[in-house]
Amino acid sequence: MWTRTDIAVSFTVLRDFFEPTADEREQHLKTPTPAHLAIAQLAQLGKIRVVVTTNFDRLMEQALEAVGIQPVVIGTADAVRGAEPLDRVDCTVVKVHGDYLDVRFCNTPKELATFDREMNRLLDRIFDEYGLIVCGWSATTDLALQAALERAPSRRYMTYWCARSGLSETAQRLVTTRRAEVISGKDANSVFTELLEKVRDLADLDYPPLTTQMQVARVKRYLEEGENARIRLYDLVSEETERVVTRLNGPAFPIAGPRIVSSKEVASRLKQYTRLCESLVALTSTGCRWAGPDHIGLWVQTIQRVTPEDFSPDVGSLGATRSAPTLLLLFGGALAARAVERSDIIARLLVGIAVKDASQRHPVFRIMVPTKLLREDDAEAFPELGGSQAPGSEYLLQTLRSWLRPMLPNDADYTDAFDFFEYLYALLHLDARQEANERVWAPLGRFAFRRAFQRDQLPAITADIGRQGHEWPYLQAGLFGGSLTRLLRAKTQLDEAAFQQGGW
């Protein structure tokens, strides 16, 4: 039998566990997590209507209230009987074990073994009429909740079960029973923040989204139709470009904050940029592979539109990662053009895209370089890079591989094309510095650490320049001011730094 004194003591003790002090709130302790906030924003978008939780705290309610939703909270049989229908309210939070400020909350094994009839009826309806995302639940002690999932009469909607590590025996049984799809290796924060990003991507479209493959097929068809499809090609590419630019300049990608951020934050931002740009990279590389002379301007314009007006190359900052969309598009288009020896397209991409640093505009190769995209310390967040000495270059190489496979199906040809373009990029950077009488330096990408490049490709490039001289296609296309002297000067210094002296 609970007395008033008992209840008062219980509330006082529990408040210390669940309610933050002023210092804890300042440190973001005992406050809504990114997962809570993402769920609340998904509810605001109308994508989540019901939250079933085993927690006693009020973090979910706080997150919902922060986005302007006053949730219906159900934690007792009385609340079930008095609640509005689920489809009549913005969001319902069902606290199956109760609330910490209500002494009827359940916590012992005996209390967790059964629900009252009203709660069971509510859960039966939820598990029958709604799709499920299960996250952060081990399913080892909540016998009543296990039973509710198992007796759900239908499987009309999907169940997704998120497991950061392995599933318990009980969880595996429920996965099998619900025919759930398991999402492994992700915690609640990453699951729901990524889901929110994808929902927002779709929400930005005011038409049914085309798949990347469908968009690529259209670009090929429009290019083949030539002048008759010029407007349709422009509209297709412009719509995709503006979708990307709107997101890049929106609140989803803030760059203000500490100059140096954690490797985890850098990795998260780069992956977000990559997902956002996937379709546009595919369109741009396809266009550069098949473009006629009249189409080159469209692809230069596309990359320029994605490139920020001002750019800070501070290494290790979120601002530095902002070069990723431009570099992905630029390298993707250049490698596709390299596959068909289109030096004219590569040159137009390199000299036609400008970036403003401070008050002066420069060609893109002068400001945005792969070596500043990722620090070696940041590479620990990308185990797939394998400890590369040029992690920014390696990231571009691996990320673009699948998108460019239709144009460069052979892995060796793809690697050679990448190394050649990055070497050319470094030559141009060094030449620009020399022309400006600045300190001699160039970005030493992955080519500088590959013996195969020094052994095979570098001698071939040297031989081509020696044989063709002023007729070398990239000079003819206008790079290095068309000057063989400038090219040879930059090449001598770059080769010495990369392959003889071991750096600048």
Q: 466 falls in which pLDDT band (50, 70, 90)?
A: very high
Compare 374 and 438 and report the one with higher pLDDT: 438
Compare 272 and 359 and report the one with higher pLDDT: 272
486-491: Cβ within 8 A, 24+ apart: 486/431, 486/434, 486/435, 487/427, 487/431, 489/431, 489/434, 490/427, 490/428, 490/430, 490/431, 490/434, 490/442, 491/427, 491/462, 491/465
Write down all domains in the chain, each with its CATH number in brackets: 32-190 (3.40.50.1220), 207-409 (no CATH), 411-504 (no CATH)
Q: 273 falls in which pLDDT band (50, 70, 90)?
A: very high
pLDDT exceeds 50 at position 1: no
219 and 279 in contact (C-beta within 8 Å)? no
22-54: per-residue pLDDT in tens?
A: 676 666 667 889 899 999 999 998 999 999 998
479 and 347 in contact (C-beta within 8 Å)? yes
pLDDT exceeds 70 at position 110: no
**Nearest alpha-carbon partner for 325 in 371, 368, 268:** 368
For the four alpha carbons of 396, 401, 406 and 410, in that order, the dihedral sign comes to positive
Q: Report the alpha-carbon distance of residue 349 to residue 317 in Å, rounded.
A: 26
The phi, psi pair for 110, rounded to 5°, reads -65, -40
Q: pTM of the entire structure? A: 0.62
Q: Report the alpha-carbon distance of residue 473 to residue 264 in Å, rounded.
A: 42
482 and 460 in contact (C-beta within 8 Å)? no
416-445: per-residue pLDDT in tens?
A: 999 999 999 999 999 999 999 999 999 999
The phi, psi pair for 258, rounded to 5°, reads -60, 145
178-196: per-residue pLDDT in tens?
A: 888 888 878 888 889 888 8
Could you give the angle at which helices 212-225 and 230-248 cross, rounded to 10 degrees?
A: 140
> How much is the average pLDDT of 102-128?
76
So what's the pLDDT on residue 387?
A: 80
> How much is the average pLDDT of 196-213?
68
Compare 438 and 266 and report the one with higher pLDDT: 438
